[in-house]
Amino acid sequence: VQFLRDLPKAELHAHLNGSIPLDVLQEMARDYLSANGASGSTVSEAVKMGVQNLTQGVQLNEIHEFFGLFPAIYALTSSPERVAKAARAVLHLFLDDPNPQCAYLEMRTTPRATESMDRRGYLLAVLEEVEKYPADKAALIVSTDRRMDETIVEECINLAITLKEEGRRVVGIDLCGDPRAGELQRFVKHFQNAKASGLGVTVHIAETVDNPTSETDNLLRAFAPSRLGHATFLDEEAMKIVFEKDIAVELCLTSNLLCKTVKSLEDHHIRFYLKQDHPIAICTDDQLVFRTNLLAEYALLLAKPPYGLGLTMDEVRKIAEMSMARRFS
């Protein structure tokens, strides 16, 4: 464990609202319910149920069920103060003593407009927290969601560009959300603008068997990402592009197993990338939901099969170095 703790590593794929520590979420739920009436309203009931589910540990039958967990969490992070509290807790979880999980965190989040903030206000609330840390410790990626209208994606990306120009700590943009949703061609020009402005581009890609080859191809060619999230079901043609363009892959082992997109560690696509000596970063995705942390994910690399991949300490050290090398900042 000491070896894994001391290893300088970067967390490059962690979603803010999916990474809130459970005790902080429970406290936020108590505050919310006492302010909004413990029972009666449909939203309060949904929040109670949602937090209870997360407390008990989530069992997912398939990846699509995962996205249903977020409305309850979002009800709790819908003001600048509460989203700041969540961001503060996630940054603390990853970076602070006594048990820091990594040396550097690129936290990502999807800006939301609510009654009490617009999307810029959301991002500013998060950035204030990120920027309390030195630039070599924490930065922000602005996520867009496949379920968004094009105008909202454009707004989010323009905000990322403007905030970067204003000297704020935004280093990249992401495409996430339910892999079943959205026709992605309409987002291309906005992603290209972001890239032209010097932002890093990462996209969730080929997360399920159902993601069509044409979509994967479009994401790789037109969106021109320098990193990929998951990349579970890439075919040979797509792999060729990934190798040629040297696109790093953010891998989330526990997330894939619990969302049942990968059957076992034995079958995990990490083995393929390791064999090819291709750049990867080990990441947690959503540690609130998946009950993991970055040390546990790295421990899976070291543990002997069938519990882990049985890699040597030198191999694990090299993987950690790759994550540091692929930061957007």
Contact residues for ligand 5GP, defined by CB under 6 A: 15-18, 70, 109-110, 143, 145, 176-177, 179, 204, 207, 255, 285-286
State the nearest-atom distance from the C-beta of 83 to ligand 5GP, in Å.
Answer: 9
Choice among 207, 236, 237, 250 that is catalytic: 207
Q: Which of 187, 192, 103 is nearest to 151 (CA)?
A: 187
81 catalytically annotated: no
State which residue, 4 or 231, has the beta carbon closest to ligand 5GP.
Answer: 231
Contact assessment for residue 248 and residue 227, using Cβ atoms and an 8 Å cutoff? yes
Peptide bond into 306 cis (omega under 30): yes
State which residue, 179 or 200, has the beta carbon closest to ligand 5GP.
Answer: 179
State which residue, 69 or 102, has the beta carbon closest to ligand 5GP.
Answer: 69
Contact assessment for residue 123 and residue 163, using Cβ atoms and an 8 Å cutoff? yes
State the nearest-atom distance from the C-beta of 114 to ligand 5GP, in Å.
Answer: 12
First to last CA, the chain: 28
328 token code pair: 């957007």
CA angle 70, 327, 96 (to 5 degrees): 65
For residue 164, with 0-12 CB atoms within 10 Å meaning exposed, 13-18 middle and 19 or more buried, which class applies? buried
State the nearest-atom distance from the C-beta of 58 to ligand 5GP, in Å.
Answer: 12
State which residue, 44 or 143, has the beta carbon closest to ligand 5GP.
Answer: 143
Distance CA 51, CA 45 (A): 10
Q: What is the H or E stretch that residue 123 is in?
A: helix 119-130
State the nearest-atom distance from the C-beta of 197 to ligand 5GP, in Å.
Answer: 21
State which residue, 206 or 311, has the beta carbon closest to ligand 5GP.
Answer: 206
State the nearest-atom distance from the C-beta of 90 to ligand 5GP, in Å.
Answer: 9
In order, the DSSP letters of 240-279 are: HHHHHTT-EEEE-HHHHHHTTSSS-GGG-THHHHHHTT--
237 token code pair: 């043609």
Helices (H), 112-267: 119-130, 150-165, 188-196, 213-221, 236-244, 253-258
Distance CA 208, CA 65 (A): 13
State the nearest-atom distance from the C-beta of 255 to ligand 5GP, in Å.
Answer: 6
State which residue, 159 or 311, has the beta carbon closest to ligand 5GP.
Answer: 159
Fill in the amino acid letter for 15. Answer: H
Active site residues: 207
